[in-house]
Structure 1
């Protein structure tokens, strides 16, 4: 019983943290993203660091908590091959989003923070950044879906715990 409580807790952490991370990405896209498109490129570039920092202090911890939840969940279901496969898809989605972030978004953010672009170049970067951010949000939303599917799959195949009175009556 304690093992199942731990498993459920770890699964919930993975699902809730990954969903919150995805929601944060969607919030960035819909709030700042829409405003950024209407903002003068030089004004946008000048205010980017403050806005980036505000989200980073929320998003980065959610990202780390998601990783912990995913790793602990897949470890618990390692012997159940079909469930493990679903958890591994979630981990690969996490890895893809992380590589995308580290390979494109972080370098672009650093260049934006350093004021490395002219107004025209900043406009182009902003548009590309937002379009690619849509892809990142889609990947981020796929992750809690896969985590939910893995948790549901595990719940369906897990042995049912019966109350003692039902066990005694069955024998």
Structure 2
């Protein structure tokens, strides 16, 4: 694999996987989220595990592939400060989203799966979860934007 082919593959992995991850989060928000708000809390609590499992099996691999793509892309441009800054924005946004997920969403999901809430509490948790998920989706959407900006900045610097 030539260095240019390797760069393209690594950069494409970072951009496409992060965009797919963000798209998955957006899909969860507008599909599951809208339906959740209109579903009776007892019915919603009962079906949460199956739905959680379905999107976790998709989202988690995309998240890990994004990490790999970002890591190798940053490594390629480490000595190119303007490009590295853009990659690092993408990395720090990825880290912020991961911390947000591990600190709030995963514990809430576990409590929901364990059926730890009354119907009224579950309704409140559901609304908070969805409101905070909007922020998480916005952060996730910024990752591929910065990754793509880094790719374009690298191309611009090498075209000149």
Does TM, normalized by the shorter one, top 0.5? Answer: yes
Structure-2 residue corresponding to 1:57: 57
* Distance (Å, rounded) in 1 between the aligned partners of 2:158 and 2:97: 30
- Which consecutive residues of structure 2, in runs of 5 or more, have no partner in the other structure? none
Structure-1 residue corresponding to 2:15: 15
Structure-1 residue corresponding to 2:152: 152
> Residue deviations 1:131-170, cap 9 Å, x none?
000000000000000000000000111267xxxxxxxxxx
Structure-1 residue corresponding to 2:66: 66
* Distance (Å, rounded) in 2 between the aligned partners of 1:130 and 1:61: 22
Give the alignment's Cα RMSD to 1 decimal.
1.1
How does the TM-score come out when normalised to structure 2? 0.98
Matches within 5 A, 1:53-132: 53-132=53-132
Q: CA shift at 1:2, angstroms?
A: 1.5
* Distance (Å, rounded) in 2 between the aligned partners of 1:145 and 1:131: 22
SS at match of 1:158: helix
* Distance (Å, rounded) in 1 between the aligned partners of 2:159 and 2:152: 13
How does the TM-score come out when normalised to structure 1? 0.92
- Give the number of equivalent residue pairs: 160
Structure-2 residue corresponding to 1:163: none
